Structure 1
Amino acid sequence: MSHPRLAIVTGSDSGIGAATAELLAVEGYDVGLTCHHDVEAARGTVEAVEARGQRAFVEPFDAATATAGDVVDRLVEQLGGLGVLVNVAGTGHSDLALDLSYDRWREVMATDLDGPFLVAQRAAQRMVDAGTGGRIINVTSVHEHVPRVGSAAYCAAKAGLGMLTQVMALELGEHQITVNSVAPGEIATQMTGMDEADAYHQERPGNPLGRPGHVAEVASVIAFLASPRAAYVTGSSYTVDGGLTLMAAHGHDQESASWREV
């Protein structure tokens, strides 16, 4: 079953979302975009999509609201249908669990888990009603799988989104809708305090590939999951981290070796 080349990408005003929208446009998708604060950046993504000969529409979006799913309806009406949803919009924090306020906990959980659920639910309903199948791709994080000090709410939300991905994959398979997650590691974006070019100029000795990732390297995996090449892939999580999550055991081995040398 071939889904329509009509996509929604949340958080597409910058970073991974913008790169994904542009790459999907290259592959023939019209794209619905969302913008939270940076309207100017969203216009830049629109221009990039249109420069590739595709239509682009932008709607305001706040993932941390009970009406987050409404953005799907607004964009579907403009696109004329929906074949792919990419949930990118999210936020982070730097608070030890002992210092984390309930308000901050709720803000991160609402943005990183509640919002993506509401958007995915609404998109799935649209796809089921259309009867043409589809793809849902949730951008999580390596912290879907491994913890990070100072990120209790973020890690809990991303782990929750990873499990939501698997449950929806089970439930939506009969409708020919695949649901997968993409789990980036350290990517050179504004959120990590870097420019995109830093991906190739910053050294990361603790990463097997020795550098941060580029947004295009995450977008390429997302685009694969949206393509016919991934028609039999569902309920999977694709880690895009240069091998970073492999290093825990390596670090332990190094400590053991140092101890043996003493």
Structure 2
Amino acid sequence: MNEQQPGTPSASPRVAVITGADSGIGRATAVRLAGEGMDIGITWHSDEEGAERTAAEVRATGRRAVSAKMDLTRLPDAAGVIDRLAEELGGIDVLVNNAGTGTATLFLDLDLDTVREVVDTDLIGPFLCSQRAARRMIEQGRGGRIVNVTSVHEHQPRVGSAPYCAAKGGLGLLTQVMALELAEHGINVNAVAPGEIATPMTGQTDVDVHQVRRPGVPLGRPGDAREVAAVIAFLSGPDASYVTGASWSVDGGMLRMGPQAGSHLESDAWRRP
């Protein structure tokens, strides 16, 4: 078995696969990693047109892009998409588990099908996709990077988001276990925990985040998907060779307030004693 010595940095990554890259953080990450010299595998669930727009942006940088439909509620078969994209692109050096879904339903009103859909998409799917990617990275013998896109709700709860919080909290701890177990193979595993980001999931697209006021967020605005992509790109590259098992909050300071308060405060009164 081709194993690196613990702590050995991997070579500059060549191929990245990003789940849920048809819009938002996934699209921004695909374009950013392509700009850093990687060929890109794109998965999409329902927006094939959006995935093609992402692929066009990747190809405009001079890199290859391939896309495939992935439905993470159809497990374990859906995880096979990782292998198919890796085969087509000639390997895999980076996996970004970005695909996700959520709810706005009180705990007592949740039905089992909804809970299973969220947990499968946000936790079990990333688990199985990461297994597929890690096995290939080990076989390739040049290490790799896995980045799990969690949420501020990896760390703190939100009313109406019981299965989402449970899944993202689980993905955060899964990240830490993976980091311990995969380190000997030169595979670094980290999480990125976004706060409110202007994406389709939060009902915000094509907006100038600097023109949107969020009094409860210390930086006073939501984030741009490209700001999250920049952190993912760092964790995916050679400069993060000594970073593993960490969760990087990209939230404008929201966690310092508590995400419930950060998104609900309507004035800046808290800024003064």
Give the structure 1 partner of residue 43 of structure 2: 34
Contact 1:4 1:132 in 2 (8 A): no
CA distance in 2, matches of 1:166, 1:68: 24
CA distance in 1, matches of 2:154, 2:128: 19
| Superposed structure 1 runs of 4+ greater than 3 Å apart | none
1:46-65 → structure 2 map (5 Å cutoff):
46-65=55-74
Is the Cα contact below 8 Å between 1:198 and 1:212 reproduced in 2? no
Segments of structure 2 that go 5 or more residues without pairing to the other structure are 1-9, 262-268
Mapped to 1, the partners of 2:142 and 2:215 lie a distance apart of 46
For 2:226 and 2:12, locate their aligned partners in 1 and report how far apart those are by CA, in whole Å.
23
Please tell me whether the aligned partners of residues 35 and 58 of structure 1 are also in contact (alpha carbons under 8 angstroms). Answer: yes
Superposed CA offset, 1:8-43 (max 9, x none): 000000000000000000000000000111111111
Q: Confirm or deny: 8 A CA contact 1:3 1:133 kept in the other structure.
A: no
Counterparts of 1:67-106 in structure 2, within 5 Å, are 67-106=77-116
- Equivalent positions of 1:165-204 (< 5 A) are 165-204=175-214
Within-5 A mapping of 1:18-33: 18-33=27-42
Residue in 2 that maps onto 1:230: 240
Matched to 1:19, the amino acid is A
Tell me how far apart the structure 2 counterparts of residues 3 and 69 of structure 1 sit (CA, whole Å): 25
CA contact (8 A) 2:22 2:42 kept: yes
Does residue 208 (structure 1) correspond to residue 221 (structure 2)? The answer is no
SS at match of 1:74: helix
Using the alignment, how far apart are the partners of 2:97 and 2:176 within structure 1? 15
Question: Does the CA contact (< 8 Å) of 1:142 and 1:245 recur in 2?
Answer: yes
Aligned to 2:3: none
Aligned partner of residue 69 in structure 1, secondary structure: helix
Other-structure match for 1:254:
none
Q: How does 1:107-118 map to 2 (within 5 A)?
A: 107-118=117-128
- Tell me how far apart the structure 2 counterparts of residues 71 and 35 of structure 1 sit (CA, whole Å): 11
Match of 2:143 in 1: 133
> Could you say what secondary structure the match of 2:232 adopts?
helix
Query: Taking CA–CA contacts closer than 8 Å with sequence separation of 6 or more, which of the two structures ends up with the larger relative contact order?
Result: 2
Q: Which letter maps to 1:181?
A: A
TM-score normalized by the length of structure 2: 0.90
Per-residue deviation at 1:4? 3.6
Identity of aligned residues (%): 60
| 1:65-120, Cα deviation, whole Å (9 max, x unpaired) | 21121011100111101100000000010111011111111111011111111101
**What is the CA–CA distance in structure 2 between the aligned matches of 1:42 and 1:106, rounded to whole Å?**
25
- CA–CA distance in structure 2, aligned partners of residues 14 and 149 of structure 1: 26
Q: How many residues align?
A: 254
